[in-house]
Each structure stands twice: as C-alpha cells, then as structure tokens.
Structure 1
Amino acid sequence: MSLYSKLGPQGRALMNQGSLVESGEGPQELDFLIDNLRNPRKDVNLNSILGYIYHYLPKIKLEHNLQLVVASFLNNPISFQPGGLDFEQNYTIIEAFKAITDKKLTISQPTLTIKNWYTVILQELKNFVHFDIIHNSWKVLPIISGIQLSNGLRDDLYTNQNILEYRWFFQDWDAQISKLYKQCLNYSLTNYNPDNIINLTLLSYSITFKKDKESVKEYTGKLSNAFIINKLIQLLFSNHAQGCQVYESFLEGVNVEVTQKPVIKHLNRLCFLLENYFTILPLNNESFQLVMDNVMKIKQFNQALSEGSQNSVFNHKSSLTNNSPEHQNFWFLMKSIFFGECIVFQGVLTRFLLSNKGFSFFRSYNIQRDYRQISFKILECLYYLNHVLLSIGQGGFDSYNFIYYLSLEIILSNKHSTNELEKVSMWFFGYPNVNLYHEALNINYINRSRVLFVFGLWENYLQTNKDSPFAKEIFRLCLDIINNEAIRDYDLIEACHSVVLLCFSDNIDIKQGMQYVDLLTHQFPHLLSPHQLSIAVESIGKVILSKPVIYNESVHANSSEEFLEFYYFKCLNARPGLPIKPQSGNFTSAQPIPEISAESTIKALDVKKEQINIIKENKLKKPKDFIKLDILPDQPKKDYAFTKRLVPETSREALILSFINLIPYLPLSMFVKWLDKTMLIIEASNQNERSYLVDMLWKVISENLDLNRCEMAYRWWYETKLAVESYQPSKL
C-alpha cells in the first residue's frame, strides 16, 4: 500500500498542495501527524496524541507547519471533550506543554527560532479563542499554564542571557498571553460548564496565579467570589475520586500514589487561591454565611477523616515511622491536607485583621461577633486533625501558630465566648469524642491527640482565668489523669502536668500544693525527669513563698515555712547514691507556653557549649554591677573550682537541686536560716553528691538572686561558711 493511500482526505489534500513537505518530495511524517490529529483512529487516546506533538512540535522547521499542527491539536475531537475525559486526564495537557516548551528551549540548534515559535503559538491560541470564545476558552487554559510553567527555564536560557534580544519580546508576549488567559478564564468559570471543565480551569488557574505578585481581582474581578470559593471547596474536600477524599482509598486498603494526582500535586496552589478569595470577601452577612458554610464543610471533612482513621492501621504512633509505601503515602497526604487547610484558614483570619485596620465606630456590621463564631469552627477543624499536627510538630509552624492563637485571642477577648470555650472544650473532652479509659489512651493515637488538643486549649484559657470555677474543674480532671498509673503514654502525662501547673493561682491552697508535690516526687524518677521535677517544684514553691499565709495556731509560723519543711524532709530522707538516667527538657506541653516561670531551674540546667569559671566572672562583674565594692569581704586569692557537671545523676541530687532552686524566692526573714538548712542536707549526701550540689548552690547564689538576697548570700558564703576554703573537691 502506498503512503498516499494511507492518508485521510485532508492529509491527501494537504499533500497535494505541498504545504506539509518541509524538505524533499512526497508526504512526510508531519503529514501523518496532521491526519492523526484531525482524524484520529479508534485506538488513539489523549496520551498518544500528546506523545505525537511532544515529539514533533519542538522540531518543526516552518512557521506554516507549526500553525497547522497547533490548529489541528486544538480542533482534535479527543483532546477536548466537555462530557468525555475527566479533568485529571485533561490535566496531562498542562504537563505535556511544559515538557514541549522545555524541550524547545533546550534544543541546541532550534529548527524554528524561539521568537517565531512563541509568536506562532500565541497567534494560533488567539485565533482559536476568537473563532468561538464561549466554547473554546477553556481549551486553551491548560496549554497556556503548561507553557508558563517553563518561564523560569526560558528566562535563564534566553531573557537573562541576552536582555536586548529577548527581554522586550518576552515582556510583550507575557502581557498578551496574560490578557488572553484572563479573558478565557472569565468565560470558563461559569455555571453552564460541567464540573470537569470548571475543575480543570481551577487547576490551571492555581498554577498560573502568582500569589505574591497578583490579586485575584485582576483575573476574575467580574465573577462571583462565592461561586469560585464554593467550587474550590467542592474540588478539594467533596470530590471523592480526585480531591482530598482520596484518603478513603487508604482506609479501604488500596495504596494510592497520591503524589501524582493533580489536586494533591497542586494542593498548596489551590489552597493559596482559595486563601486569596477568602481574604477579599466584603464585610457583610452574606460573606459571613459563605465563610461559615465552607469552614463547616472542612470541619465535616476533617471529622470524617479522623473518625475513619481511628478504625485503620494508621491509628498508631508507629505508623508515622513505618517505611512501607502504604503508610508513607498516607501520612504524606495527611500532612499535605493539613498544610493546605492552614493556608485556607490563614486567608479567613487575614480578612479579619485587614477589616480591623479600617474599623469604624459607626459600622453596622459586627465582624468581631461573627469572627468569634468562625474561630470556634476553625478550632473544631484543628481539633480533628491534631494527630496530623503531632506527626509534624508545631515548632516553627508559623501558619498554624497564627490561626491557632489568633482564633483563641478572638474567643478569649469576650466574656461570653470565653464561657462558650469552657463548654466547647468539655464537649471535645467528653464522650463520644474521646475515651479516657487508660487502655484507649495507651493504644489509640488519634484519641490521645484529641486529649492533647484540649490540654492546649486549657493552657491558653488558664493564662488569664486561673481563679475561675472552671479552672478548678480542669485541675480535678487533669489530676485524675496524672494519678492514673495505668496510663503509659508519658507525653500525655507530661502535658497534663503542664496544665496542672497553670492551675495554681496566687491564692494557692497550701494543702493542695503539697499534695501535688508529693505526687511529683512519687512519679520521679520513673516518670518525670529531674528537670521536670525541678520546674514543677519551683513553679509551685514560687507562688507559695511569694505570698505566705500567716498561721495563728500551728507548729508553723506561715505557709512558706510549712512548705519548706515539708519538702526539706523529703530531700533529707532521700537515699544517697541511687543513680538515675540523665534527662533534660521541660514538660511536653500541648502547645508552646510563652514563658516558663521556673527561671532558676532553666538557668541551672542550661548547659553552655563552653564552660566558664564562674568565680572569675563574678570577680569581674558581680561587685561592680550588683552591689557596692565595700560591702563584700575581700575575695580570697584561691578560686572556687566549679565542676563541669550541671545535670544531676542521682535521685537525691535531683531532689535537693529542686530545693536549691527555691532559694531566690526565700523570704528575707528566713533567708539565712534556710541557706544553713540547705547546706545541712547537702553535707548529708555522699562525697560525689556534695561536690555537685555545692557547685549548683553557688550557681544559684551567683546568678539568680536579687540585690538584697545577693548581699546576704555573699556574706553567708564567704564569711559564715568560708565556702571557698571549705568546699574544694579535695576537702569533701
């Protein structure tokens, strides 16, 4: 069979005209390409067509032939079927045209100049759109997006290398293609188009939109923001097969390669687009309802995800570190969804901040009232995905911290919504949301994550509401968890301690405080680290010692003396020489605490990279900076030898160190008395413990005292105890 006979009618006509022959006589491969594009066989699919044009489009030598190939592709009956191909298949057009453009840009000897190639592409796209702007607009959007994805490579190879030849040309080309894109976008995002076209358009739009340089108003200023927001939410959170609900496949035991799915691949871009539309919404009741409805849809999505995951193999902490493709893909998707939602909520809350800049006293619309409701819904969304946050770690996660703390600030700024937060947190903490039975807490990672989220809410609440009746309820609930020895998750116990410590107000009950310290010593060292013990003891002791309650009929003069005696005997009776595993770190908080009040503990265990001789530093700085020179006795010539060890190694060392860290808070009336008693329990320790504890005592005296206590402590150290001579390591 001759080559001529293989061609279709149009191919033969073109061959007869000689229009496709780039060199030589007779039909060429390009003729077959045109025929395949215009009259595809039944076995030809979109991937085949894109493969053809990827092979030929960058290599065409004549402008006329490039025009024919592009026009034939645009009119191809397979490439653009409004009711046929789904948008994931049409998305491959974006990838293909990026690859085609990359290939054209990197050909060492272009068969058609770069300028001519770009010019022909632009002109053919314009002609195609103008021929039928309503039906053809959506078809050019993925092509333009694909080409624009190559702009970085284009500028590196051409614009930046030859500014005079290419800069003005590409500036003009970019302006024209941008104008065409925006025109087509407005004709594509309409109700008369099916969801496949709208989804492809939104995906293309998210790729093309430059979030840091442009406004969405430039693209769709005349379109309904509500329409675009609703369609984006639908694509992201309600599209079972192609959106974020692909997570259901994992729960059904089907491992999905999510990284190549278009929505997941460009999830951040889509969320940035949604963020921008939320940000520009006008301030009215219609916009408030729109925000509430869509945040509610996200909440429902998160709730279904959380509840579905609880009955899966992924509901275990070990799943986070499981290297199997199934677990790795699942957690990649979870993290992508969580990051994406944070981007969206950032837009919702940014709108609130921007609105307050132009706040008017006479404004009838109460945005603070509405945003308190929105903030509660955002917290619900975060609650159901807290297990994902814990897998990421929120340190440095600026987007999360922004939405979490701003939402809480909006809520806690109003007495009524603060009371509502109490009810919401108890609903979060109750059945059926969480199961507080110890076995459920030990094995159910998602259940435990929800409890930790509530602890975080309570920590924020207690910052300003320590004396409320609800604070007492928080204390009772947390104490029940801490006292439950069957709970084996130490992070949960530590976070619970963090909440309890914030429950102690200025009007602390001395009996309650001592009971809690008794619990701390019971949990040390098998559960709590030395650092955690010291932080807790110092935090409670600071409150009790700062406001002592005078006793009328008691063996103790006041509550300060009672507490000190209570903890002193615990230290005195601690067995020397019992080793513990060295540990550092604060309590694992359910959220970052802005400031920890246990300053002495933190300083005492703050290991520097290079140790310094503290006495030498004190000689240079303490007398000059803190007290007059003539108050201190003459410094002995022999320096005190400070050891390098700052972390306790025995249980006795840790208990006494906690007591030493209370010295900055000792009342002046009993300051020297308790310095003496501190030295007594130090001297009752073994030689190695004495050496370490003397060092730590001096560290607190030399670094953590105010002016009055510093003067008294220096006299006691140098004159009364003659510590420099008496407590050298060789004399212990």
Structure 2
Amino acid sequence: MQSLYNKLGPEGRSLVGFTDESSFEHQVPTQLDYLFDELVHPKPSTTPQKVLSYLAYYYPKIKNEGNIELLTYSFLKCPLFFSNLQSLSFMDHYRVLECFKFVMDKKFQVSQPTLPFYKFYNSLFRVLASEALDPANSWKSLPIAVGCLLSVDSRKEYDNYPEMYQLISQIDQKLLDITVAAIESNFRGPMLLDPLYLNVVALACINDKLGQDQLRKVIVVRPDLPRLINDLVVHSNYGLSNGHVFSLTDVFAQCPALNHLSRISFLFCKIVSLHPNTTLLADQLDLILNQMLTLSETVSQLGEPNEQQWVLLRTLLFAQVMLFESVLSRFVHINSQPLAQQLMPTFSRKIMSILFNLNFVVDKIGTGGFEAYNFVYDLCLNSIINYDIPTAELLINCWTSNIQFGKISTSQMDRAKLLFDLQFVENVINLISDDLKFNCIIPIVRNLINTASDQDVLEAAHSVMIKFFTILDSFNEHSTNVNYHANMEKVKTSMLDYLTLALDQFPERLSLNQIGIVVETLTKIAFPNSPLYESEPELSREMLLLLYNRCQVVSNRPLPNSTEFPKTLQSAFLTLLIRVIPLISFTEYEQWLERTFILICRNTNDEKLHLVDKLWDAILATNKYYPQKGYIGINWWYEHVNQEAREKAKL
C-alpha cells in the first residue's frame, strides 16, 4: 500500500487518504451533515426562525465536542445572519441571543448522560474565541456570547456548584472579556442603527458583570451612549416608538428593549455616574428629558389602560425614576456651584412635569416603599424652592391650565394631575406671588372644598388651605413678591368661614382626626402668642364661640362606624373644644373650663367619663407649657370635678 501511495499523484494520494481515514458510517450523510450544509447554504424556504429552531433542538443533544464546534462554525457562516455587519437585523440577532440563552439553560440541566456541560461550553467558547481574533468579525460572536452570559445567573440558581464549576467560571470570565472587546470594536467603526442598538442591548445584558474601568473604556469610545440608549428605548420600534407601542397587542415580545428595560436603566444610571465629560453629559440629559417630557404627554392622553398597558406603564415609571435619581445624584453634589444652580432647576422642572403627566400611574400603585420616587420628588422640589421660585409659578400655571376640572370625577388622568398639582401647591403656596395665590390658587381650592366629590381631592384641597393659613408663621421678610399685611388681611377675613365649612363637613367628609388637625392648626394661628392675635384678638374668641355653639346644638346621634370613644357626634365636638383649651387666654381660662365641664355633664356616663379624662389631660398639657394657667386649672379641677365626685360617692 505504501508503494502504491508513493506512485500516485496528489489527487490519487488525497483519495487514498480519505478512504483510509473515513469509515463507511461517515461517508453516509447524517442529519447534522444536512444541517451544516443548510446553515452555510440555506434554501430559499429557510428562514432565520427555522435556523434558530434547529439550533435550539440540536445543540443540547449533540454528544461530540467536534460536532459542537462544527455546528457553531457553520452557524457563523450562515448568510441569513452574518453576511454583513451593515445589513444586520436587530430582531434576528436579538433572537440569536435568546436562542443561545435557552440552549445554555437547557444544556446545563440535561448535561448527563450526553456531553458534559463543561466540554460543551468549552467547545462553543473555542469557536467564539477564534472568531474574535479578527476584530472585523467580532460582531458575529456578540449575540451568541451575550446569550451564554445571560445564562450564568439561571445556571447558578439551578446549581451553584456544578462539576468543574471553577473551570466553567473561567470560561465565563474569558467570554465576558471577548464580549466587551467586541462591543468596543463595534462602537469604534461606523454603524447603522440596528447594529448600534444591538450593541446597547448587549452592553445592558452584561452590565452587572462589568467593572467600572471596563465600562469607562466603552464610554470613552461612545461618549454619546446616554443619547443612544434613549433613542433605543423612546424612539425606536424596538422600544416605546414614541408612545405608539401602547397600541400593540404583545408589547414585550415585539419590543425587545422593553423586555430588558430594567437592565438598560441600570446601565444608563451607571453611565451617568461614570461619564467623564460633565458638560457633554448635561447637554445629552437635557435633550433626553425634553424627549421624555414629550413622551409623558403622549402617555397621559391614553384612555383607560388595559392590563398589559398597566404592566408597561409601571415598568416605564420605575425605569424613569431610576434615571431621574441618577441624574440628580450626579449634579446635586457637583463641584461647580454655578453649574449646579443652572442645571438643577432646569432638570427639576422637566422631571416634575414628567411626574405630573405620569401621576395616574403613581396614583394607582402608590409610593409606599418607593424611596427613589420620594427622593426624586423632594430633591426636585427643594431645587425649585431654593433656586427658582418663578419656575414654581410657571409650573403651577401650566399644570393647572392642563387639567380639565369638569372631568375630575370621570378621568383618572385629570384626577391624578390635580392631586399632583395640589400637593406641589401645598409645598410652595407661602412662597409664590400674592397675585397667583389670591387670583388663581385660593379660588380654585375653595371651589374644590365646596364641590369636590372625590375624597382624595377634597383632602388635598384642605391641606392647601391649612398651609396657606400658616403663612404668618413662616413669612420670609426678604421676600419681594409676598406682602405680609395683604396676607394678614386675607387670613383674617377667610379663617372663620373656612373653619365653619370644615366643621360642616364633619363627620360625613372629614374624619375626627382630620377635623382635629384643622381646628388645632387654625387655633394656634389665631390664639394668644401669635402675630394674628396681636392684630385681631377678637378672631380667637369668635372661633372659640363657634366650637362652643356647635357643641351645644349638635345632636347626640352615634358617629358612623365608631366602635371606640367618642361614639356620639356631641362627644366628638367636645373633644375638639377640649383640644383648644390649653391655648385660651389666661383671663378666660377658668371660665372656659367651667363651660366645657357643664357640656360634658350632659353626656351619658361612658362618654362623660372619657370626656372628663380628656379634660384632665388638657389641664396637664396646659400646666406643662403654661404653668400659671396650669395652676389655675388644677385648682379648679380639685374644687369642682373631684368635689362633685366625692359628694356622689357619699350618696
């Protein structure tokens, strides 16, 4: 045979070598041979979806390392996916990513008795590492590598310490390095939007595994990453499509960027914190907030959201609040104070307007435990108050004109906007101009208190009015747009009417606790030792008589849904009167103790005992803060209340 081999030419030797090295079994094409051929030379009927279904089926079943490599090499030559970087289809390559995550998850769980997972993974890695040696081809390995890396967490959940786990972890790290290098290489060259967006999704998927230095290198290559991320999420058809996404039937399947919105948001926040060029970053963020504001206005025009839309809205809200938190955190402690004074009010105004438009989502899910939202709201509010009160007035005018008051009871969007507006007004009402306050806000709030059928709106309106009455205690003498005397007169002329209205709404609209806050707040403003008392001492007496007369004329009917003291309407009003007693002037203190006690004695035994205890607590509170009045009150108690109790005991 050797002599024959030596006599043959090159073609003959090749044929002999093939015959010797190949068994009959290998000469017969197998299913894999057909698959390899179809991957490299797809038929007209072969689609990308069909190719991926083949891969998902065959990869976990292959028992030979060489065949894993051959299948991977063949796939990387498939013209349906890897013909040219500029013709890359985002959706097709995203499905490659999902396919390989599925393959890795499946293979890890069924590793035995077929090819062990480590050998499978290592075979796949060798091909990807070989492909990555040529930077021009590194883009081909990207979706496969990211799919494998996405599987790391699910692998650990299934089995944190599989066989050869240390070697598997080494492959994970090497694959991560290859992926980062591929992303950097891709970003350096000119790219169409689809490859760019795929790079962004890939970066978001591996973000939790990246060190800060690795991400900084990527940012240096693409300093416009924040804008690019926003384009993907807000404008592209793979994201929100400028709000048109809400008309789709299967949002998360049709829009991959939304499927990874949480990952993309974390990536954005990390980039904002690490970006080396503050000025460039600020310009991008300003543009991004403008676009988000436009999007929020579109979203606020939705009708009643369906279940899928609510899921998307909640996801969007959480993502945006994360973004806002990162933006504010970056600039609130910036070294350049002038830049902070310039940027913080601008950013805060836009963020607050976005939250105004999306408040119908917050209204549905609540902010309990949502610390990031509260941080963002409070920081924006403080920035506007500290740097730019005219902006606060602009926001109030804009928001209020944007609310359709006639639809408050039927439109959750307008209701939520009104609640947000009232909450903001409550925080700034004593800082804004008298013109806006007296000619716009107060008339609207009064009308809401009189007519609002919605309980939350009513309570929010009351909160604004109560805050307005405290202006005399919080007045800033350096303020140029607030006239102290004009506000004093406004408080004088409106306080008694407001208290009367609030008392009329108890107990049908206001709870005992709520009306108690109203009474206590207003009496502290109008009673002795206050600026208003010095200007108008008679007002406190009128308020006291109003409470006293209510106690005299109200019926003794049971309070609705009351199982504890006070159980009757008269007892409830008496508790309000008792709360005011420590504030009564020294000269009238004992007289009002006597009047109150007489009213208490009209009640049934159980209610009377509770009211007497409340009265004694009020006397002790007086003694704590006003010892002279307290001394009078204690003497009166032992001469009248205790004496009466002893005489009854003798009988």
* TM-score normalized by the length of structure 1: 0.76
Residue matched to 2:403: 434
Q: Measure the CA separation in 1 of the matches of 2:19 and 2:371.
A: 64
Is 1:512 the counterpart of 2:494? The answer is yes
Instruction: Report if the CA contact (8 A) 2:449-2:458 is conserved.
Output: no
1:44 maps to which of 43, 46, 66: 46
Q: Measure the CA separation in 2 of the matches of 1:218 and 1:283.
A: 11
What's the CA shift for 1:546? 4.6
Change in CA separation of 1:246 and 1:474 when aligned onto 2, cut-off 3 Å: closer
Residue matched to 1:206: 204
2:378 maps to which of 405, 410, 426: 405
What's the CA shift for 1:110? 4.8
Residue matched to 1:234: 231
Q: Measure the CA separation in 2 of the matches of 1:86 and 1:231.
A: 18
Change in CA separation of 1:534 and 1:213 when aligned onto 2, cut-off 3 Å: farther
Is 1:559 the counterpart of 2:539? The answer is yes
Residue matched to 1:396: 369
Instruction: Report if the CA contact (8 A) 2:242-2:295 is conserved.
Output: no
What's the CA shift for 1:493? 1.2
Letter in 1 for 2:198: L
1:722 maps to which of 620, 642, 651: 642
Letter in 2 for 1:387: F
Mapping for residues 274-289 of structure 1, pairs under 5 Å: 274-282=268-276, 284-289=278-283
Q: Measure the CA separation in 2 of the matches of 1:194 and 1:550.
A: 69
Is 1:531 the counterpart of 2:513? The answer is yes
Is 1:266 the counterpart of 2:233? The answer is no
Aligned CA RMSD, in angstroms, stands at 3.4
Residue matched to 1:597: none
What's the CA shift for 1:292? 1.0
Change in CA separation of 1:21 and 1:116 when aligned onto 2, cut-off 3 Å: farther
Change in CA separation of 1:43 and 1:225 when aligned onto 2, cut-off 3 Å: same
What's the CA shift for 1:214? 4.2
Q: Provide the secondary structure at the position in 2 that maps to 1:396.
A: coil
Change in CA separation of 1:42 and 1:467 when aligned onto 2, cut-off 3 Å: closer
Mapping for residues 474-513 of structure 1, pairs under 5 Å: 476-485=442-451, 487-505=452-470, 507=472, 509-513=491-495
Change in CA separation of 1:724 and 1:373 when aligned onto 2, cut-off 3 Å: farther
Instruction: Report if the CA contact (8 A) 1:501-1:536 is conserved.
Output: yes
Mapping for residues 146-545 of structure 1, pairs under 5 Å: 146-155=147-156, 160=161, 165-167=164-166, 169-189=167-187, 192-210=190-208, 214=212, 217-218=215-216, 220-226=218-224, 228-239=225-236, 241-245=237-241, 247-248=243-244, 250=246, 255-258=249-252, 261-282=255-276, 284-307=278-301, 309=302, 312-314=303-305, 327-355=306-334, 359=335, 366-414=339-387, 417-430=388-401, 433-436=402-405, 439-462=406-429, 465=431, 470-473=436-439, 476-485=442-451, 487-505=452-470, 507=472, 509-545=491-527
Which runs of 5 or more residues in structure 1 are unaligned? 1-12, 315-326, 583-643
Change in CA separation of 1:581 and 1:482 when aligned onto 2, cut-off 3 Å: farther
Residue matched to 1:61: 63
Letter in 2 for 1:535: I
After alignment, is 67-76 or 56-65 more displaced? 56-65
Q: Measure the CA separation in 2 of the matches of 1:478 and 1:713.
A: 43
Q: Measure the CA separation in 2 of the matches of 1:24 and 1:205.
A: 42
Change in CA separation of 1:75 and 1:419 when aligned onto 2, cut-off 3 Å: same
What's the CA shift for 1:687? 4.9
What's the CA shift for 1:562? 2.9
What's the CA shift for 1:482? 2.9
Instruction: Report if the CA contact (8 A) 2:238-2:254 is conserved.
Output: no
Residue matched to 2:98: 95
Instruction: Report if the CA contact (8 A) 2:234-2:242 is conserved.
Output: no
Sequence identity percentage: 24
What's the CA shift for 1:177? 1.5
Mapping for residues 546-625 of structure 1, pairs under 5 Å: 546-547=528-529, 558-582=538-562
Instruction: Report if the CA contact (8 A) 1:548-1:560 is conserved.
Output: no
* CA displacement, residues 207-261 of structure 1 (integer Å, 9 cap, x when unaligned): 11118964663450431322x222211111112x3212385354x5x53343674
1:657 maps to which of 555, 558, 575: 575
* CA displacement, residues 73-99 of structure 1 (integer Å, 9 cap, x when unaligned): 111112346566742332122221111
Q: Measure the CA separation in 2 of the matches of 1:18 and 1:406.
A: 79
Q: Measure the CA separation in 1 of the matches of 2:23 and 2:438.
A: 88
In terms of fraction of residues, the more helix-rich structure is 2
Alignment size in residue pairs: 614
Instruction: Report if the CA contact (8 A) 1:514-1:563 is conserved.
Output: yes
Change in CA separation of 1:22 and 1:49 when aligned onto 2, cut-off 3 Å: farther
Instruction: Report if the CA contact (8 A) 1:236-1:243 is conserved.
Output: yes
Q: Measure the CA separation in 1 of the matches of 2:251 and 2:23.
A: 44
Residue matched to 2:598: 680
Q: Measure the CA separation in 1 of the matches of 2:22 and 2:570.
A: 93
Change in CA separation of 1:460 and 1:685 when aligned onto 2, cut-off 3 Å: same
Higher relative contact order (CA 8 A, sep 6+): 1
Which runs of 5 or more residues in structure 2 are unaligned? 1-14, 473-487
Letter in 1 for 2:505: Q
Instruction: Report if the CA contact (8 A) 1:342-1:403 is conserved.
Output: yes
Q: Measure the CA separation in 1 of the matches of 2:606 and 2:433.
A: 44
Q: Measure the CA separation in 1 of the matches of 2:151 and 2:22.
A: 28
Q: Measure the CA separation in 1 of the matches of 2:421 and 2:24.
A: 72
After alignment, is 256-265 or 371-380 more displaced? 256-265
Residue matched to 1:590: none
Q: Measure the CA separation in 1 of the matches of 2:341 and 2:348.
A: 10
Letter in 2 for 1:289: D
Change in CA separation of 1:24 and 1:140 when aligned onto 2, cut-off 3 Å: closer
